[in-house]
């Protein structure tokens, strides 16, 4: 007898339909699995055989062949186990085959017949729905992420026997239900971090507000204790709320990385802050069973690299390409994957190894030592920061000020206005933020008057700017004008944008 069940796999961040065919025939009692399988998929044979036995299904000694297709996709992971067991039971006549045709089935089996959670349920269910499936069976622990997808019923099962009951129509298990609106009622200060706690540092706060408004990459440089880490950790508190589409896109990535836990959707903008000992693979993604790295987990949010020069040089240099492309390509033997990586890069660093350069009362580092320390950040990487600012040491009096500081909510309201200006302007294009402007689109959207033109030209020669720096100044000036609710970029906007370019001259210039 022959039967067919449907399962799913992940390809990049998308789900992919996999057919699982099972055939039983007379002959030597052998269990074979074919279809371009990785070793852990081949091992499904043992898990399925023992799980069937321990769930009480006694199968006659026959020859079993299971085929997973399409044949040209390399199949990895353990998510096919449950569908293989179901296909075999159906081929033996335990279930009517027509009951399987509406269902997509995923889950890993334990030897005792329990169904374990797997990664990537959200994207798989999402693509199953697009392919016309109306129901899916997933591990109970993954049921909430599957239930987020509208238009397909998601049933969570804890055991193989529960799945069989469900497919035979004898079960009264209800599909999982998730209230999406309530997921998006995010508490304003869930982590309790607010900009009102940061005393002074007005210039740094202003720069951060601009950076967030246009999603510009920003580098903060300054002595230890000046509040760089403190400021960075509060950035997500002023970012605009996620749209549902953005949330689903991020949640797919977390689902594949196995980090969705039971929260159904990621409803807040990611803030990822990997330690400087991180490996290149963990940062950009990859591995034997490919997983998104920190840069993809930071998609639509912030990647914060604290103590930037302490990262391994190779590791941070790899960021250059994803920073341009907003995605990362991972080439492997059997396939090439693309993961989204549209993050805002925030980095902080001390100017030298003692941390106090250029304050010669405190810093004894030789100029060569300082140069070597700063040299850990290459010019091309430095060029990727649209905004570069100094965080200055606060004195005792400044920290004592009782003046009321602006709250994150106040700042967020202004960011939202600048965001709306960009949405209106870029309607019908594939640009969302000013940081995405290219030299060609800069010409179109950052037109300058005569006065503005000559101011920029003067700076270009005086500061010996590169073409890249020139374009960055224009993009930042565009964002500053947007915060001003001004469609026209004025000299004031340009001068401020130029300031954010002068810091790298001060430290890295000749």
Residue placing its CB nearer to ligand ADP in the complex, 85 or 220: 220
Considering CB distances under 5 to 8 angstroms, the limit depending on partner class, which of Zn ion, Mg ion, ligand ADP, none binds residue 365?
Zn ion
Residue placing its CB nearer to Mg ion in the complex, 99 or 229: 229
Considering CB distances under 5 to 8 angstroms, the limit depending on partner class, which of Zn ion, ligand ADP, Mg ion, none binds residue 413?
none
Task: Select from 99, 171, 229, 281 the one that contacts Mg ion (CB under 5 A).
Answer: 229
138 touches 149 (CB < 8 A)? no
The Cα–Cα gap between 11 and 437 comes to 30
Residues contacting residue 172 through CB under 8 Å, at least 6 positions apart: none
Interface stretch with ligand ADP, choices 140-148, 193-201, 362-370, 410-418 (CB under 6 A): 193-201
228 touches ligand ADP (CB under 6 A)? yes
198 touches ligand ADP (CB under 6 A)? yes
Q: Closest-CB residue for ligand ADP?
A: 227
Bond preceding residue 358 cis, omega within 30 of 0:
yes
Tokens 């080439």, residue located: 331
226 touches ligand ADP (CB under 6 A)? yes
Task: Select from 93, 132, 151, 224 the one that contacts ligand ADP (CB under 6 A).
Answer: 224
Residue placing its CB nearer to Zn ion in the complex, 212 or 363: 363
Crossing angle for the helix pair 44-54 and 81-91, nearest 10 degrees? 60
Compute how many residues bind ligand ADP; rule: CB under 6 A: 16
The Cα–Cα gap between 206 and 222 comes to 16
Task: Select from 50, 183, 199, 335 the one that contacts ligand ADP (CB under 6 A).
Answer: 199
Residue 384 has, within 13 A of its CA and on its CB side, a CA count of: 20
To ligand ADP, the closest distance from the beta carbon of 392 in angstroms equals 10
Question: If you ran DSSP here, which 8-state letter would residue 318 be given?
Answer: T
Helices (H), 103-201: 121-130, 143-147, 160-168, 180-184
Q: Which helix (H) or strand (E) holds 387?
A: strand 387-390
441 touches Mg ion (CB under 5 A)? no
To Mg ion, the closest distance from the beta carbon of 306 in angstroms equals 5
378 touches Mg ion (CB under 5 A)? no
- In 3D space, the residue among 4, 9, 6, 245 whose CA is nearest the CA of residue 134 turns out to be 6
Task: Select from 354, 394, 463, 499 the one that contacts ligand ADP (CB under 6 A).
Answer: 394
To Zn ion, the closest distance from the beta carbon of 354 in angstroms equals 3
200 touches ligand ADP (CB under 6 A)? yes
Residue placing its CB nearer to ligand ADP in the complex, 401 or 413: 401
Residue placing its CB nearer to ligand ADP in the complex, 162 or 306: 306
Tokens 């720096």, residue located: 469
Given the rule CB under 5 A, which residues bind Zn ion?
352, 354, 357, 363, 365
Helices (H) and strands (E) in the chain, counts: 22, 18
Considering CB distances under 5 to 8 angstroms, the limit depending on partner class, which of Mg ion, ligand ADP, Zn ion, none binds residue 198?
ligand ADP
279 touches Mg ion (CB under 5 A)? no
- In 3D space, the residue among 238, 322, 252, 325 whose CA is nearest the CA of residue 280 turns out to be 322
Residues contacting residue 460 through CB under 8 Å, at least 6 positions apart: 470
The Cα–Cα gap between 338 and 318 comes to 15
Residue placing its CB nearer to ligand ADP in the complex, 91 or 232: 232
Residue placing its CB nearer to Mg ion in the complex, 229 or 502: 229
To Zn ion, the closest distance from the beta carbon of 106 in angstroms equals 55
To ligand ADP, the closest distance from the beta carbon of 196 in angstroms equals 10
Considering CB distances under 5 to 8 angstroms, the limit depending on partner class, which of ligand ADP, Mg ion, Zn ion, none binds residue 352?
Zn ion
- In 3D space, the residue among 471, 505, 23, 408 whose CA is nearest the CA of residue 191 turns out to be 408
Helix (H, G, I), strand (E, B) or coil at 148: coil
The Cα–Cα gap between 105 and 85 comes to 10
Residue placing its CB nearer to ligand ADP in the complex, 225 or 358: 225
Considering CB distances under 5 to 8 angstroms, the limit depending on partner class, which of Mg ion, Zn ion, ligand ADP, none binds residue 71?
none
The Cα–Cα gap between 166 and 158 comes to 12
To ligand ADP, the closest distance from the beta carbon of 277 in angstroms equals 18
- In 3D space, the residue among 381, 388, 472 whose CA is nearest the CA of residue 208 turns out to be 388
Helix (H, G, I), strand (E, B) or coil at 427: coil
Kindly tell me the burial class for residue 181, based on how many C-beta atoms sit within 10 Å of its own C-beta (0-12, 13-18, 19 or more): exposed
To ligand ADP, the closest distance from the beta carbon of 506 in angstroms equals 18
Across 289-351, where does the E strand assignment appear? Answer: 291-292, 302-306, 327-331, 336-340, 344-349
354 touches ligand ADP (CB under 6 A)? no
229 touches ligand ADP (CB under 6 A)? yes
48 touches 85 (CB < 8 A)? yes
99 touches ligand ADP (CB under 6 A)? no
273 touches Mg ion (CB under 5 A)? no
Interface stretch with Mg ion, choices 8-16, 226-234, 375-383, 434-442 (CB under 5 A): 226-234
To ligand ADP, the closest distance from the beta carbon of 307 in angstroms equals 8
Residues forming the site for ligand ADP (CB under 6 A): 198-201, 222, 224-230, 348, 391, 394, 399
Residues forming the site for Mg ion (CB under 5 A): 229
């Amino acid at each position: 007898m022959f039967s067919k069940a449907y399962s799913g796999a992940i390809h990049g961040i998308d789900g992919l339909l996999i057919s699982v065919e099972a055939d039983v025939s007379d002959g030597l009692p052998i269990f074979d699995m074919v279809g371009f399988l990785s070793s852990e998929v081949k091992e499904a044979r043992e898990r399925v055989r023992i799980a069937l036995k321990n769930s009480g299904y006694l199968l006659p000694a026959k020859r079993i062949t299971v085929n997973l297709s399409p044949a040209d996709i390399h199949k990895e992971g353990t998510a096919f186990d449950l569908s293989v067991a179901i296909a075999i039971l159906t081929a033996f006549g335990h279930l009517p085959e027509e009951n399987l045709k509406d269902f997509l089935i995923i889950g890993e089996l334990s030897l005792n017949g329990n169904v374990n959670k797997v990664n990537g349920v959200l994207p798989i269910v999402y693509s199953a729905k697009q392919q016309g499936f109306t129901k899916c069976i997933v591990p109970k622990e993954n049921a909430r992420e599957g239930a987020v997808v509208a238009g397909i019923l998601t049933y969570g099962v804890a055991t193989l026997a529960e799945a069989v009951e469900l497919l035979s129509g004898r079960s009264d298990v209800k599909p999982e239900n998730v209230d999406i609106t309530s997921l998006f009622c995010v508490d304003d200060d869930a982590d309790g971090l607010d900009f009102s706690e940061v005393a002074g540092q007005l210039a740094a706060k202003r720069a951060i507000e601009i950076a967030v408004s246009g999603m510009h990459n920003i580098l903060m440089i300054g002595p230890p204790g000046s509040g760089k880490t403190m400021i960075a950790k509060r950035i997500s508190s002023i970012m605009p709320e996620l749209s549902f589409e953005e949330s689903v896109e991020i949640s797919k990535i977390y689902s594949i990385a196995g980090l969705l836990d039971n929260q159904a959707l990621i409803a807040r903008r990611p803030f990822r802050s990997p330690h400087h000992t991180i490996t290149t693979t963990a940062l950009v993604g990859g591995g034997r069973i490919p997983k998104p790295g920190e840069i993809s987990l930071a998609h639509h949010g912030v990647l914060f690299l604290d103590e930037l020069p302490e990262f391994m040089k190779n590791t941070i240099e790899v960021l250059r390409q994803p920073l341009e492309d907003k995605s990362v390509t991972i080439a492997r033997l059997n396939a090439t994957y693309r993961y989204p990586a549209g993050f805002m890069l925030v980095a902080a660093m001390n100017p030298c190894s003692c941390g106090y350069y250029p304050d010669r009362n405190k810093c004894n580092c030789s100029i060569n030592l300082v140069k070597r320390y700063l040299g850990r950040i290459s010019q091309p990487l430095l060029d990727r920061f649209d905004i570069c600012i100094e965080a200055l040491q606060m004195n005792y009096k400044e920290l004592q000020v009782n003046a009321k500081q602006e709250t994150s909510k106040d700042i967020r309201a202004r960011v939202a206005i600048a965001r709306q200006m960009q949405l209106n302007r870029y309607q019908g294009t594939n640009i969302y933020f000013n940081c995405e402007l290219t030299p060609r689109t800069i010409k179109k959207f950052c037109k300058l008057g005569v006065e503005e033109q000559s101011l920029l030209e003067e700076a270009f020669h005086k500061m010996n700017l590169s073409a890249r720096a020139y374009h960055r100044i224009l993009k930042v000036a565009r964002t500053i004008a947007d915060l001003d609710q001004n469609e026209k970029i004025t000299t004031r906007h340009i001068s401020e944008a130029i300031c954010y370019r002068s810091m790298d001259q001060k430290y890295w210039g000749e």
